Amino acid sequence: MKKWQLQEAKNKFSEVVDNAFKHGPQFITRRGIETVVVISVNEYKRIITPKTSLVDFFRKSPLYGFELDIVRDKSYAREFEV
């Protein structure tokens, strides 16, 4: 992991990209504050890919198999004038 000042990152963008691919995230700073991170596509996909499917998530829920009695109340929620 390397930190680059913004101006240096602009001047050496190819090197920043190569380092992100080979060595991992590259932090870019602006006025000494970490502002953005350059990462490889593989790293990005790994981060955004869910660990489990939504179906598996709900199956592992403590409420899985619990019967819910869902009945819609057909009465009006409040009085209103027409």
Q: Is 69 exposed, middle or buried (0-12, 13-18, 19+ CB in 10 A)?
A: exposed
The pLDDT tens digits of the residues spanning 6-36 come to: 999 999 999 999 999 999 999 999 999 999 9
The pLDDT tens digits of the residues spanning 33-64 come to: 999 999 999 999 999 988 888 888 888 888 88
Q: 2-5 and 26-30: which strand pairing? A: parallel
**Domains (ranges, CATH) in the chain?**
2-59 (3.40.1620.10)
Categorise residue 4: left if φ over 0, alpha if ψ from -120 to 50, beta otherwise: beta
pTM reported for the whole predicted model: 0.62
CA end-to-end span of the chain: 67
